[in-house]
Amino acid sequence: MPRQPNRWLCFLLALVLTLSWGLGHRSQAQPAPNAEQLVEQGVQFYRQGNYQRALQNWQAALERYQTSQNQLAQAIVWENIARAYGRLGQSDPEIAAWHQTLAYYREQQAESKMGQLLTEIAHSHLRLGKAKEAIALLCSTEAIDADVPETACAPGSAIQIAQTHQDRRGLMAALGNLGEAYRLYGRSDRAIVVFKSAQHLSASTQEVNLLNSLGNAYFSQAYRDEQRAYSAGLRGAVQQSQTLLAAASQQFQQAIDYFGRSSQLADDKFLQLQALLGLLQLYYFPRQSTATNIAAGEAIAQQP
């Protein structure tokens, strides 16, 4: 089963991208010569997709800002460095850079920004496959194995901070990542609940992502119930096996519906392709019923 936490990265980048073009205007402290120029050049490289050159420029700028003890500039450059490492697929140094940024804003008691950074760090953990670490940052350690409502997340968690500050977009990002974390952790049932709770917050592009995420979550849940049905059949628990197979069939249909809706709402080819890939995995999935196979085929045929 595919795991797709990366599509939330686009939303996160739109949420808190802070590539600065004018760090010198943010502080009265006079930085060392050429620091701002290095940052600006790094931004240009980043926008061109040359993330390694961007990283080199920002690291050089960081050294100059550390010399001048310009802490705000350091925090902003650390954030840029984290994004460059993320684009290069180097999650460990990315997380370390995020923590450097978080330390500054925690010292400044800038709680709303802290919540956004916690979501970024959680997303980086997801790319490493560390679902438990992500859940703990987004909600709480108790939420890893217990059904903790999103309204009861621990103080200082990304979700609690977003709720306290009425940060709609921050909450949307945190919930989206929490749902992906639960799916990665094997709790597709919980992922479905979280994704649905985020639906009322979403704008058009985020709605497409959520529908696609719900399709993946229902697919994961259907696969899980099919495996359980197979195991029950081997034990001779015929009634339980039939019940689980019926539930799996309904969940497969739910997945088809969500992928289909995602494709219909998508306003670009990439998002449409995501939904189509979801439908194709259902169409070619072994052991599913003929009705599910036909439904998936019909949904594929209706794609733009």
DSSP 94-157: HHHHHHHHHHHHHHTT-HHHHHHHHHHHHHHHHHTT-HHHHHHHHT-SGGGTS---GGGPPTTS
Average pLDDT score over residue span 179-203:
84
d(C-alpha 110, C-alpha 253), whole Å: 45
Predicted confidence at residue 125, as pLDDT, reads 95
- Predicted confidence band at 88 (pLDDT cuts at 50, 70, 90)? very high
Where is average pLDDT lowest: 66-70, 100-104, 120-124, 254-258? 254-258
pLDDT > 90? residue 176: no
Report the share of the chain in percent with pLDDT over 90. 37
Where is average pLDDT lowest: 45-49, 51-55, 256-260, 283-287? 283-287
Q: What integer best gives the mean pLDDT of the chain?
A: 79
The pair of three-digit structure tokens given for residue 76, joined into one six-digit string? 């902003």
> Model confidence over 284-295: pLDDT tens digits?
555 555 445 545
Give the residue extent of every domain in the chain. Answer: 202-304
> Model confidence over 127-149: pLDDT tens digits?
899 999 999 999 999 999 888 88
3-state percent breakdown (helix, strand, coil) of the chain, nearest 5? 75, 0, 25
d(C-alpha 82, C-alpha 303), whole Å: 37
pLDDT > 80? residue 243: yes
Sign of the four-CA dihedral 146, 257, 198, 136: positive
The Cβ of residue 294 has, within 10 Å, a number of other Cβ atoms equal to 11
pLDDT > 80? residue 263: no
> Model confidence over 18-30: pLDDT tens digits?
444 444 444 444 4
Average pLDDT score over residue span 218-229:
81
Q: Which of 253, 245, 266, 251 is nearest to 296 (CA)?
A: 253
Residues 6+ apart with CB under 8 A from 252: 218, 219, 222, 282, 285, 288, 289, 292, 295, 296
Q: Are 280 and 293 in contact (CB under 8 A)?
A: no
d(C-alpha 137, C-alpha 239), whole Å: 41
